[in-house]
Amino acid sequence: MADIIKLLPDHVANQIAAGEVVQRPASVVKELLENALDAGASQIKLIVKDGGKALIQVVDNGEGMSTTDARLSFERHATSKIQKAEDLFNLHTKGFRGEALASIAAIAHVEMQTRRETDEVGTHLKIEGSKVAFQEVCVTPKGTSMSVKNLFFNIPARRNFLKSNQVELRHITDEFHRVALAHPSVAFYFYHNGSELFNLPSDNYRKRIVHIFGSRTNQKLVPVEEETPIVKIKGFITKPEFAKRSRGEQFFFVNNRYIKSPYLHHAVVAAFEGLIKSDTYPGYFLYLEVDPASIDINIHPTKTEVKFDDEHTLYALLRSTVKHSLGQFNVAPALDFDQDPNLLTPYGFKDKSAVEPHVTVDAGFNPFLETGNKAVKSFSYRKGSDQNWESLYVGMESKLGDETTAHSISFESDTITGSIFEDENELSESSTTTFQLRRKYIITTIKSGMIIIDQSRAHQRVLYEKFLKYSTIKEAVSQQLLFPLTLSFSKLEINALKDIEKILVSIGFVFEKVEGESITITGVPLLVAESEVGMILDQLISDYQQQVGEENFSHTDILSKTLAKTLSVKTGEVLDKQSQLALVNDLFACKETRISPFNKPIYITITENDIDKKFI
């Protein structure tokens, strides 16, 4: 019987490795940017076309490579970062496996131009599907330019799994943020389809954060800094009042490498305990420096997951450091029994005594004495005299009558105004009765038994169909604001807002201007409170950025779902009888009554037979 185990050809092995390293265009961006940083670049340009599907180009001014190194860099496991296995525990660079360029070249058209400062000419190399198309000398600036075109050109099945250009661009932008935030001393430039998205000069950590996420971020940041023998922590957290319902602006960096760590994330959230709502998330930009020998980076192909030697100690240090910063900058309430200097007596009044105020009283003043007003009767009143008191009530009997009682007297506060609800007697005569259970469910009766309705999901369905109707017929009613409302957003958020501006206008928002990093709103939909506009727009932009371009959802559908979820009645809210009945009637007037906009059941039916079975 013939042997059945065979060695894979190199190009097949590279394609398999590409499945782990290159998942989407953002993976290529990450690897190329990290290579540029390892080359010592002080200026990096990222150029992208069609969400990275057509072109990803990274140009740096780093060390460059010789002709031999340029050719050898595309071989599997060829690296200059490590020589032996022990070097894996003393890493100070980004890439060390030597798999990235080989994997990228296996599934794309790759073109490299590179030159060292000591060389007169550089090297131009082109590789297509692991095969070298040509290699020749060229004139090129110092540094390296890497172009990756037609990603997954030879694996159509993988290319079909890519999302729309806008979704892929969002993932590329996320990777760009992670690299740029970790290295504020390096200047970064980001272009997409010829337009500049980011221009980040060399700066410090705080200004780099503000340049990326907008000027309004500056007021949110609280500095964090602590140094121990185990870890050195620095960075920023956002103030509790700026916590968001969606995850975002949460970054951990260990030795200038972005990582994902749910365990450390929990430590930060625990420090905010009691300061934010349970369904919101704080923002943070935290930079940790640890001994390279105490972490293992080589546990995942993307190197975003690391293993710490002593996670429990790191958790405790991180939690206490964040908590200390919240208290140090008066963000968190604290008990302080020391004297407040603002309440102390000023130095100039230290030896002075208090002066008793003098009040002049006219002891002979009598309000009943006749003055210039002739209509006021004069009564002879002396202190301590109770004679002739009956004379004050003479004539009252003739005005009121003997049969007058207290019930016949009307008071100004008894004025009856119109009611906006039905008469209570009419409501009680209605055949529909409702009951609220645990501030979450509404129970009502039907002919065959009863229905238990989830009040939040029911209201989501009602609002969702209303907003869809408004956006379709474009006849939404707006309430004008007394004073225009100005809100600030980052550049990316403003671009997303411009994309959905027409839909927002169709459901009732009125924008006076959208420019720079701010927008001015003069009108909002009837169901939206002015105080909630900022929170609602934040949620709309976040949901749009996460789901834009999905095949099964239109922009109108996404925004209608977000508005319905944000404005709906929440679990825990008490509803009166009229509101319960109105919600039930509105729900069963909808086109779809069984499932919410998020495909969750709205109600269940319990028949009389189901109840009878419980008593058998």
Query: Which H helix or E strand runs over 264?
Result: helix 262-271
Q: What is residue 438's predicted lDDT score, i.e. its pLDDT?
A: 87
Is 380 a residue whose pLDDT tops 80? no
> What CA–CA distance (Å, rounded) separates 423 from 414?
18
Whether the predicted pLDDT of 534 surpasses 60: yes
- DSSP H helices, 152-237, are 156-160, 165-182, 205-213
CATH 3.40.50.150 assigned to domain 436-604? The reply is no
Both tokens assigned to 84: 């032996």
Mean pLDDT of 578-603: 90
Our separate counts of H helices and E strands in the chain read 18, 22
Q: What CA–CA distance (Å, rounded) separates 152 from 124? A: 22
pLDDT, one tens digit per residue, over 230-280 is: 999 999 999 998 888 777 789 999 988 899 888 999 999 999 988 888 878
pLDDT of residue 247: 78
- Indicate the pLDDT class of residue 418, thresholds 50, 70 and 90: very low
Domain ranges of the chain: 10-200, 205-328, 436-604
17 pLDDT tier (thresholds 50, 70, 90)? low
Question: pLDDT for 317-364, tens place per residue?
Answer: 999 999 999 888 766 665 555 555 566 666 566 667 777 777 778 877
Fold of 205-328: Ribosomal Protein S5; domain 2 (3.30.230)
Picking from 214, 218, 222, 261, the residue whose alpha carbon sits closest to that of residue 240 is: 222
Does the pLDDT at position 550 exceed 60?
no
pLDDT number for residue 126: 93
The predicted pLDDT at position 355 comes to: 77
Confidence at residue 377, expressed as pLDDT on a 0 to 100 scale: 47
Model confidence at 22: pLDDT above 80: yes
300-311 core/surface letters (b: 16 or more CB in 10 A; e: else): ebebeebebeee
Residue 126 zone, left/alpha/beta (φ > 0; ψ -120 to 50; rest): beta
* Least-confidence region, from 169-178, 432-441, 539-548: 539-548
| CA 596 to each of CA 367, 459, 465, 587: distance values in angstroms, whole numbers, following the listed order | 72, 9, 10, 10
Residue 170: band (very low, low, confident or very high) from pLDDT cuts 50, 70, 90: confident
pLDDT surpasses 90 at 161: no
Instruction: Say which residue, 94 or 308, is predicted with more confidence.
Output: 308
Give the range among 251-255, 545-549, 577-581 with minimum mean pLDDT.
545-549
Average pLDDT over residues 480-495: 84
User: Which pLDDT score is estimated for 381?
Assistant: 46
- What number is the average pLDDT over the span 212-239? 91
**593 closest CA partner among 467, 469, 451:** 451
**CA–CA separation, 138 and 341 (whole Å):** 72
Q: Write down the pTM of the prediction.
A: 0.70
Q: Which residue has the higher pLDDT, 31 or 336?
A: 31
Q: Which pLDDT tens digit goes with each residue over 104-131?
A: 888 899 999 999 999 999 999 999 888 8
Kindly indicate the confidence band of residue 390, based on its pLDDT and cuts at 50, 70 and 90.
low
| Closest alpha carbon to 54 in 108, 132, 135, 3 | 108
10-200: CATH superfamily: Histidine kinase-like ATPase, C-terminal domain (3.30.565.10)
Would you place residue 455 in the very low, low, confident or very high pLDDT band (cuts 50, 70, 90)? very high
Q: How confident is the model at residue 398 (pLDDT cuts 50, 70, 90)?
A: low
Predicted local distance difference test score (pLDDT) of residue 207: 93
At 92 the pLDDT is 61
- pLDDT at position 402 is 52
